[in-house]
Amino acid sequence: MSMKLNSQQLSDLAIGAAFLGTGGGGNPYVGRLMAQQCLDEGLEIEIIDPSALDDDMLIIPTAMMGAPTVLVEKIPNGEEAIFSLKRLEKHLGRKAQATMPIEIGGINSTIPLVVGARLGLPIVDADGMGRAFPFLEMETFGVYGVSGSPMAVSNEYGDCAVIQAVDNRQMEWLSRAVAIRMGGCAYIAEYAMSGADVKRTAVPNTLSLAIRIGEVLRRARAAHENPIDALLTFLPSTLYRYGRTIFAGKIVDVLRETKNGFSVGRVRIDGFGPFSASMEIEIQNENLIARVNGEVKAIVPDLICIMNTETAEPITSEELRYGQRVTVVAVSVPEIMRTPEALEVFGPTCFGLSKPFVSIEHMG
């Protein structure tokens, strides 16, 4: 019920988490290097299955919050999330017995590995989004009743705010203001909860799934098979059940701004091969909705993953560039993320989209 990560698994995880992150979650390269450095120093990264948690253990998830566009220019020193976790421990008067990702995506799947390795804590193989989302209230933890507060948000200087908000949306609203003034990117500890709550509310086994996804892509590439086909063949054996290619083409326009602490914009892709016309994808840190000629082809919370057509590497939103040849894959999310309670917190309307959620399996 526990495994120690090696360098190969770290590389696979970075790729797989960037895929699941659906454009967001921050740059996976930076995060992989930070975790690799822990291994190089002889530290252990121990992943434990949520089923192995005692019900009364205290788990404190850790993460980066902010704009991915900022993260690539303002990289962490590695102590910030640890500092937030320790502040939250002090506030709670209790030590964490494990940490965990709040989202599976880019740097936010590896930040908890660094925290765990440095503090000697295991990292729970689960997360609170089953993908990446831009807002902190959009976690299955909160959907199913766990309070995000008290939460701690810190920067590289040692400034820290401990926020106790009346609900998780207020927590997001207030902490985002602090993160913006910390330079647009800060490090948090939040949704402190019991082992029982993790088992009840988390999306399980997403760290090991991300590793498997990275592995599938890597092995296919080595065997000169099509990695994207290999991935689509693999998905039905997972909680994510279903995926398909919804578009392929060349990026002809990227509009991206860092606004209110988020990376927002859209990307336009001109079709190749069987795909005519153009696909337009709207972004708020993550890819939210993909349309061709105004017709919705995939919509949040289902995954919309933009992958490099040649290498099958997922491209996070801050790395999108004119001229990239890309394949867009849509994937169905686990059922825990499609309940009415879940869609109320991170369905299309929560992003100001007027379209209803239609699952990718049923999308025309």
* 170 is a contact residue toward its own copies (CB under 8 A): yes
Nearer to its own copies by Cβ, of 176 and 212: the residue is 176
Return d(Cα 296, Cα 274) in angstroms, integer: 18
Kindly state the smallest distance separating residue 326's Cβ from its own copies, in Å. 37
Indicate which single residue of 71, 160, 251, 288 sits in contact with its own copies (rule: CB under 8 A): 160
Kindly state the smallest distance separating residue 115's Cβ from its own copies, in Å. 19
H/E stretch holding 257 reads strand 243-259
* 173 is a contact residue toward its own copies (CB under 8 A): yes
Task: Name the nearest CA neighbour of 20 among 128, 133, 130, 138.
Answer: 130
Nearer to its own copies by Cβ, of 175 and 324: the residue is 175
* 292 CB-side CA count, 13 A: 17
Length reported for the chain: 364
Site for its own copies in 75-114 (CB under 8 A): 87, 91
Kindly state the smallest distance separating residue 89's Cβ from its own copies, in Å. 14
Indicate which single residue of 7, 51, 157, 257 sits in contact with its own copies (rule: CB under 8 A): 157
Kindly state the smallest distance separating residue 283's Cβ from its own copies, in Å. 24
Kindly state the smallest distance separating residue 159's Cβ from its own copies, in Å. 5
Size of the residue set binding its own copies (CB under 8 A): 21
Nearer to its own copies by Cβ, of 177 and 239: the residue is 177
Return d(Cα 4, Cα 306) in angstroms, integer: 30
Kindly state the smallest distance separating residue 224's Cβ from its own copies, in Å. 53
The DSSP bridge pattern shows strands 243-259 and 325-331 to be: antiparallel
Count Cβ neighbours within 10 Å for each residue of 234-252 and write b for 16 or more, e otherwise.
Answer: bbeebbbebbebbbbbbbe
Nearer to its own copies by Cβ, of 91 and 241: the residue is 91
How far are the Cα atoms of 111, 160, 205 from residue 287, in angstroms, in the given order?
22, 30, 23
Task: Name the nearest CA neighbour of 127 among 111, 105, 110, 104.
Answer: 104
Task: Report CA dihedral (14, 19, 20, 26) to the nearest 10 degrees.
Answer: 60
Nearer to its own copies by Cβ, of 179 and 202: the residue is 179
* 174 is a contact residue toward its own copies (CB under 8 A): yes
Nearer to its own copies by Cβ, of 171 and 251: the residue is 171
How far are the Cα atoms of 4, 111, 290, 328, 330 from residue 297, in angstroms, in the given order?
39, 32, 5, 10, 9
Nearer to its own copies by Cβ, of 86 and 218: the residue is 86
* 164 is a contact residue toward its own copies (CB under 8 A): yes
Binding span for its own copies by CB under 8 A among 49-57, 174-182, 285-293, 310-318: 174-182
Question: In the complex, which residues of this chain contact its own copies (CB under 8 A)?
Answer: 87, 91, 157-166, 170, 173-174, 176-178, 180-182
